[in-house]
Structure 1
Amino acid sequence: MGVWEEAMSKIVNEDETSEPRSFSQLVVRTWQYLFYDLGDKRIEHWPLMADPTPTVLIVLAYLLFVNKIGPKIMENREPFELKNILIVYNFIQVCVSLWIVSQSLELYMYKYSFFSCENVEVDADEETMRICRGFYVYYLAKVSELLDTVFFVLRKKYNQITFLHLYHHTGMPVMSWGCTKYFPGGHAAFLGFINSSVHIFMYFYYMLAAMGPQIQKYLWWKRWITILQLVQFALGFLHFTQVLNSDCNYPKWAVIIVFPNAIFFYYLFWDFYRKAYKPREKLDSQDSHNKPIEESTENGRISEGSELRKRNKETGIQEN
């Protein structure tokens, strides 16, 4: 009996002697099977991890606020400055990302190869549970990053709330919840490691940018954050090709999620980079004595000059 047939047998009939289930019983049993039987028993009692309901409700409330409620509240109000809040928020994100990277290096990355399949360790020893906690903290970090958009709304920076921004911020909490729920460890650990590594630089940049013009003039390296983001998508794609090996026991269906998202994000980030920086390179080559470009902080993101600011209204300063 195949995996699919076995799963359906468990959902439809508890055993061979039981009566066929009614529709309501089938729904309840399917829910139980998907989110309790299949989930990792080591972490099912952790907050928000029993089933996806809390995460989905958080994401829906987030979408409702940033698209409807928030703009309505701010309609007749002046935008909030939030300078100190942004500095503290971005500093916390840097610290969280540093912790995740340090845990990855200590517990995982040093003993595994980028070019080999890494299965999920199912033991409950202290080292393995620390890996599980690392995945859990990463998931909580993705939930906390929903505040990025909330700050945009409160500062009335609606041009920054692009399709890519919303797609990323709604997708990451759900995907990281699923990874933590079912496979806290193994091959996906590299994705969290490289993503958190990029986030160290990204949120550090945003923290400095939020400090004001006296610091912003030193932030010439913004484009390199986008380049790092492009590199991480390429590395994540290459890393997950190992899952396709016949002797790899990591779930093959994971590539259905990883591959399309890696390609999609790479394309969108490259499109942003091309629109935001290629024209600048051409202008700089024509006139190496341009005056310093006026900069304005947008929730830790800097729009450089009127032309780039105009383009940002369409694309936004993208992040991952």
Structure 2
Amino acid sequence: MGAADAAEPPRPLGLVSSVVNDTLEFYRWTWSIRDKRVDDWPLMQSPFPTLTISTIYLLTVWLGPKWMKTREPFQLRFLLVVYNFGMVLLNFFIFKELFLSSRARGYSYVCQTVDYSDNVYEVRIAAALWWYYVSKGIEYLDTVFFILRKKFNQISFLHVYHHFTMFTLWWIGIKWVAGGQAFFGAQMNAFIHVIMYMYYGLAACGPKVQKYLWWKRYLTILQLVQFHVTIGHTALSIYIDCPFPKWMHWGVIFYAVTFIFLFGNFYYRTYKLPKEPIKNGKIANGAVANGVSKPENNAVVENGKKQKKGKAKGE
């Protein structure tokens, strides 16, 4: 064996070293093409604050129900009204900024490249997208309120997957493509969330308002339409070879497909399957997301049990 052979590192070690070096090189390259306009914006210097918040969220989903198990549920009616209508205002602001700024800039709804300039409208679009990303972090409170109110049946895989991935993945969107094609999906979703949180806010107002909220199922239909439109819009961009990052296009399509399956399953189970009768004080398929479950005979419904007298903790 020669001296050169003896100096060669073992094969597994060389493979690991090569993978690490390639990963670091890829990381440096991706960082070089980031949107430098957002470097100094809150939460954008590094992915770790976003990952930390999302990790705390998952821990809350796991530990929260255990902590509330022996405690009385909070009703939080006033807080829910304030929160939901606050989210209506935030999402309307995002929609308004994206719509007006993209129109002033002459954005195309078919193909729009990212403009990383400091043009006032481009910066407004980037800022609106940043607020959209932040709103997804604020929406983690949806789950916190479910836990405090002991609405554990609402914390489904779809609910957690939706909230966790939207906030976490949109950090990537803001860091690299805070403009261009990204405006369309965020604008459409913000508009739908205006309607959605309006519904939740009205539902939280109590029985006198809830009797008019017959249109909940159409929110799910609207969301499913949104995902199909997203796939069609993105597929068209790929077909015409729109100069927008292809990895983002394919990522959006895959992500939208997962939502179609999950929301479609939710719609089928909630509105198509025969509803089970009331058993042992529990109502099957009967809760209102982030609102207040519709009471019967003026009873307060909490955690599947009716209480005609007294108030829930925190009311």
Shift of 1:28: 9.7
> Structure 1 CA distance, aligned partners of 2:200 and 2:175?
31
One-letter identity of the residue aligned with 1:45: D
Shift of 1:75: 2.1
> Structure 2 CA distance, aligned partners of 1:117 and 1:301?
42
Deviates more, 1:158-167 or 1:35-44: 35-44
Alignment match of 1:196 (pick from 190, 199, 205): 190
Q: Deviations over 1:219-255 (max 9, x none)?
A: 0111111111011101111111133136421011112
Report the CA distance shift for 1:26/1:244 in structure 2 as closer, same or farther (over 3 A). same
User: 1:198·1:229 contact (CA, 8 Å) conserved in 2?
Assistant: yes
Q: Deviations over 1:189-240 (max 9, x none)?
A: 1000110111011000000001111111010111111111011101111111
Check if 1:228 corresponds to 2:222.
yes
Check if 1:112 corresponds to 2:103.
no
Check if 1:98 corresponds to 2:92.
yes
Shift of 1:154: 0.8
| Segments of 4+ moved more than 6 angstroms | none
1:41 corresponds in structure 2 to 36
Shift of 1:27: 9.0
Check if 1:276 corresponds to 2:255.
no
Report the CA distance shift for 1:212/1:128 in structure 2 as closer, same or farther (over 3 A). same
TM-score (norm 1): 0.78
One-letter identity of the residue aligned with 2:254: P
Shift of 1:67: 0.9
2:127 corresponds in structure 1 to 133
Check if 1:67 corresponds to 2:89.
no
User: 2:154·2:287 contact (CA, 8 Å) conserved in 1?
Assistant: no
Report the CA distance shift for 1:88/1:35 in structure 2 as closer, same or farther (over 3 A). farther
One-letter identity of the residue aligned with 1:176: W
**Which stretches in structure 1 are left out of the alignment for 5+ residues?**
1-21, 282-293, 306-312, 314-320
User: 2:207·2:294 contact (CA, 8 Å) conserved in 1?
Assistant: no
User: 2:129·2:178 contact (CA, 8 Å) conserved in 1?
Assistant: yes
Report the CA distance shift for 1:122/1:164 in structure 2 as closer, same or farther (over 3 A). same
Report the CA distance shift for 1:92/1:27 in structure 2 as closer, same or farther (over 3 A). farther
Report the CA distance shift for 1:51/1:152 in structure 2 as closer, same or farther (over 3 A). same
Alignment match of 1:244 (pick from 238, 244, 256): 238
Secondary structure of residue in 2 paired with 1:253? helix
Secondary structure of residue in 2 paired with 1:164? helix
> Structure 2 CA distance, aligned partners of 1:31 and 1:252?
17
Alignment match of 2:158 (pick from 149, 164, 185): 164
Deviates more, 1:263-272 or 1:125-134: 263-272
Shift of 1:280: 6.7
Report the CA distance shift for 1:37/1:113 in structure 2 as closer, same or farther (over 3 A). closer
Deviates more, 1:229-238 or 1:260-269: 260-269
Report the CA distance shift for 1:109/1:269 in structure 2 as closer, same or farther (over 3 A). farther
1:318 corresponds in structure 2 to none
> Structure 2 CA distance, aligned partners of 1:202 and 1:32?
38
> Structure 1 CA distance, aligned partners of 2:184 and 2:288?
32
1:262 corresponds in structure 2 to 256
Q: Deviations over 1:107-149 (max 9, x none)?
A: 11573333x2110011112111111101100000001001100
- Percent of residue pairs identical: 41
TM-score (norm 2): 0.79
> Structure 2 CA distance, aligned partners of 1:301 and 1:241?
39
> Structure 2 CA distance, aligned partners of 1:213 and 1:96?
26
> Structure 1 CA distance, aligned partners of 2:287 and 2:113?
46
The Cα RMSD (Å) is 2.7
Secondary structure of residue in 2 paired with 1:42? helix
1:151 corresponds in structure 2 to 145
> Structure 1 CA distance, aligned partners of 2:34 and 2:295?
47
Check if 1:77 corresponds to 2:71.
yes
Alignment match of 1:300 (pick from 291, 294, 298): 291
Alignment match of 2:201 (pick from 189, 203, 207): 207
Secondary structure of residue in 1 paired with 2:235? helix
Larger Rg belongs to: 2
User: 1:36·1:51 contact (CA, 8 Å) conserved in 2?
Assistant: no
User: 2:210·2:294 contact (CA, 8 Å) conserved in 1?
Assistant: no
> Structure 2 CA distance, aligned partners of 1:246 and 1:299?
41
